[in-house]
Chain A
Amino acid sequence: AQSVTQLGSHVSVSEGALVLLRCNYSSSVPPYLFWYVQYPNQGLQLLLKYTSAATLVKGINGFEAEFKKSETSFHLTKPSAHMSDAAEYFCAVSFNTDKLIFGTGTRLQVFP
């Protein structure tokens, strides 16, 4: 079955530290992959997407993600965390259908 897994429901980092949020997918067909961010009491905003053009994808706010087919992963990283990065992050996949399948989300906390 096609699915997406986010390891770690909560991640805490210090301001200025590396952010790494993990996402793995399960699929027999090439997926389209997305990372969305949800700030408190707001909707979902697209950070970046992978659609088979380049394996390293750069997004907004300094985030990037690398598609690794051999590891079926699409981890989200940012070299230096900022307080404003505190939010919930969702990995999502699509498999040539209309719907997005979301992971369970990772809440990022950034400490000063």
Chain B
Amino acid sequence: EPEVTQTPSHQVTQMGQEVILRCVPISNHLYFYWYRQILGQKVEFLVSFYNNEISEKSEIFDDQFSVERPDGSNFTLKIRSTKLEDSAMYFCASSELGQGNYEQYFGPGTRLTVT
């Protein structure tokens, strides 16, 4: 069964450093997403991406964040200068189409720890 994969599973970085989280969405899916879950809190939407541009983003997704689909398979989230409060589990997801009624398939997540 096709699945979303994410690497690395755990990333430790120092405050102020740049990190790139990587995801391989399901191959025939057209919409891609990033969510995050701070420990003990709910899952929060960050951004959606379609046709090589951001489709929607939340207020969390500020100038420190960027997304890219550098090739036909990978989808990345970059945090330019990490802060302690960026420590969270980051989930990538993909769906065939967007606008709500299509199932989003989630990857296993990358746990980001900022020290």
Interface residues of B (CB under 8 A from A): 4, 31, 33, 35, 41-45, 48, 50, 55-56, 58, 91, 93, 98-101, 103-109
Contacts and interface: CB of A to CB of B under 8 A. Distances in A.
Interface residues of A, number: 24
B45 to A, nearest CB: 4
A32 B100 contact: yes
Contacts of B91: 43-44
Residue among A36, A46, A94, A103 with the highest chain B CB neighbour number at 10 A:
A94
Contacts of B58: 99
Interface of A: 32, 34, 36, 42-46, 49, 51, 90, 92, 94-105
A95 to B, nearest CB: 7
Contact of B106 (A45, A49, A97): A45
A98 B106 contact: no
Contacts of A98: 31, 33, 48, 50, 55-56, 98-100
Nearest to B100: A94
A42 B4 CA distance: 12
Contacts of B107: 43
